[in-house]
């Protein structure tokens, strides 16, 4: 049982990152039904911006919010400069635009910082450990779980308990009616893109010390976060969080007891099984097209 608890604790740390990615995916999908395939590359850019600032003696506590703000501005600018002018495009066309953004961001990262792997400076140690009963937890693992949970709670509170969140939900439900009631739908869409991008940037910063910093470090976590969003329900914030944590725990337990090599495959096996039973996801609701 101790070994199982140890694997589950590691899964919570991994799952918190998957949940952050999944929440960003769901946030955009709920508001505009667009799947942002540039989410992983935007997250990577946020980590690189924070890394650049730290190498210039900017404190970690300043560099990380600055990196998140930079990618938030990029997300909002992408909506205003690309998606809004292309509002008559099909959903598939908008998805292709996000793929174009992914290629552009990935290329820019390699031009500015190169393709070499970098060591991301992090204030918490992976070698300093604590004992919670018989479970050994590193300082970095505790920090990752804590930061992930704080960000998830903050985002849920913003969306569910504030006037801005109410406006975001109104625009997602019926943008024309929301605009008729005086809600600035375009600004809300831009804010949504900015918040989702900032969440991605936070996930990139938390992941960089673990996998090291390189232009493609978010490829696998993005796919896992997307898988978690599908598993939990593409229109459910609690579902995205639940899917992220369940996937992280399942992967770690599977890797520990069965096979480390096939743990990536497990995510998509779980998705298939969940969608066979609940096509809308664990906590999702059946989507009805508005006419």
How far is residue 181 from each of residues 129, 154, 173, 184, measured CA to CA in Å?
54, 27, 13, 9
pLDDT, tens digit, 9 for 90 and up, residues 11-32: 898 999 999 999 999 999 988 8
Return the number of other C-beta atoms located less than 10 Å from residue 289's C-beta: 5
Phi, psi (rounded to 5 degrees) for 276: -65, -35
The pLDDT score that the predictor gives to residue 290 is 47
pLDDT of 59 strictly over 90: yes
Q: Which of 90-94, 124-128, 165-169 has the lowest mean pLDDT?
A: 124-128
Look at residue 116 and tell me whether its pLDDT is greater than 80.
yes
Out of 25-39, 85-99, 206-220, 260-274, pick the least confident.
Answer: 260-274
Q: Which domains does the chain have, with CATH numbers?
A: 2-277 (1.10.3470)
- Determine the pLDDT at residue 45: 96
Q: How confident is the model at residue 287 (pLDDT cuts 50, 70, 90)?
A: low
Q: What is the mean pLDDT of the chain?
A: 89
At residue 202, does pLDDT exceed 80?
yes
pLDDT score for 167: 93
Residue 64's contacts (CB-CB under 8 Å, 6 or more residues apart) are: 50, 202, 205
Q: What is the pLDDT of residues 166-199, one digit of tens each?
A: 999 899 888 888 888 889 999 999 999 999 999 9
What is the C-alpha to C-alpha distance for residues 150 and 65, in angstroms, rounded to an integer? 14
Helices 60-78 and 185-211 cross at an angle (nearest 10°) of 140
With a threshold of 0.75, does the pTM exceed it? yes
Please compute the mean of the pLDDT values over residues 56-83 and round it to a whole number: 95
**DSSP string computed for the chain:** -HHHHHHHHHHHHHHHHHHHHHHHHHHHHHHHS---TTHHHHHHHHHHHHHHHHTTT--HHHHHHHHHHHHHHHHHHHIIIIITTTTTS-HHHHHHHHHHHHHHHHHHHHHHH-SS-BPPP-SS-SS-EEEETTEEEEHHHHHHHHHHHHHHHHHHHHHHHSHHHHHHHHHHH-HHHHHHTT--HHHHHHHHHHHHHHHHHHHHHHHHHHH-B-TTTTHHHHHHHHHHHHHH-TT-HHHHHHHHHHHHHHHHHHHHHT-STTHHHHHHHHHHHHHHH-TT-SS--------
CA–CA distance, 59 with 69 (Å, rounded to integer)? 15
Per cent of the chain over pLDDT 90 is 51
For residue 20 the two structure tokens come to 């952050």
Q: Which of the residue ranges 22-26, 89-93, 284-288 has the most confident prediction, judged by mean pLDDT?
A: 22-26
Q: Convert the pLDDT of each residue in 203-251 to its tens digit.
A: 999 999 888 899 999 998 998 999 899 989 888 888 999 999 999 999 9
The torsion angles phi and psi of 130, rounded to 5 degrees, stand at -130, 155
* Residue 4 CA: distances (Å) to CA of 84, 136, 244, 254, 262: 49, 12, 19, 10, 18
Mean pLDDT of 148-153: 91
Average of per-residue pLDDT across 94-112: 95
């Amino acid at each position: 049982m101790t070994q199982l608890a140890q694997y589950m604790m590691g899964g919570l740390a991994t799952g918190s990152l998957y949940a952050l990615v999944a929440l960003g995916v769901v946030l955009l999908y709920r508001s505009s039904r667009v799947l942002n395939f540039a989410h992983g590359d935007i997250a990577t850019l946020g980590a690189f911006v924070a890394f650049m600032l730290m190498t210039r003696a900017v404190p970690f506590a300043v560099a990380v919010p600055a990196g998140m703000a930079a990618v938030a501005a990029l997300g909002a600018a992408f909506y205003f400069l690309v998606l809004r002018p292309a509002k008559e495009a099909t959903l598939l066309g908008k998805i292709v635009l996000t793929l174009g953004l992914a290629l552009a961001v990935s290329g820019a990262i390699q031009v500015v910082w190169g393709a070499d792997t970098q060591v991301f400076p992090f204030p918490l140690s992976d070698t300093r450990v604590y004992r919670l009963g018989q479970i050994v937890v590193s300082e970095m693992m505790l920090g990752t779980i804590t930061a992930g949970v704080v960000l998830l709670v903050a985002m849920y509170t913003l969306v569910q308990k504030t006037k801005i969140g109410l406006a975001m939900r109104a625009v997602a439900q019926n943008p024309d009616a929301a605009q008729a009631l005086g809600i600035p739908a375009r600004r809300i869409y831009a804010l949504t893109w900015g918040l989702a991008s900032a969440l991605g940037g936070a996930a990139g910063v938390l992941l960089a010390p673990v996998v090291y910093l390189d232009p493609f470090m978010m490829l696998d976590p993005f796919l896992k976060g997307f898988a978690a969003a599908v598993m939990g329900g593409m229109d459910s914030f609690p579902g995205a969080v639940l899917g992220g944590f369940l996937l992280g725990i399942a992967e770690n337990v599977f890797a520990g007891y069965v096979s480390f090599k096939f743990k990536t495959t497990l995510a998509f096996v779980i998705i298939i099984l969940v969608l066979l039973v609940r096509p809308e996801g664990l906590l999702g609701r059946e989507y009805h097209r508005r006419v």
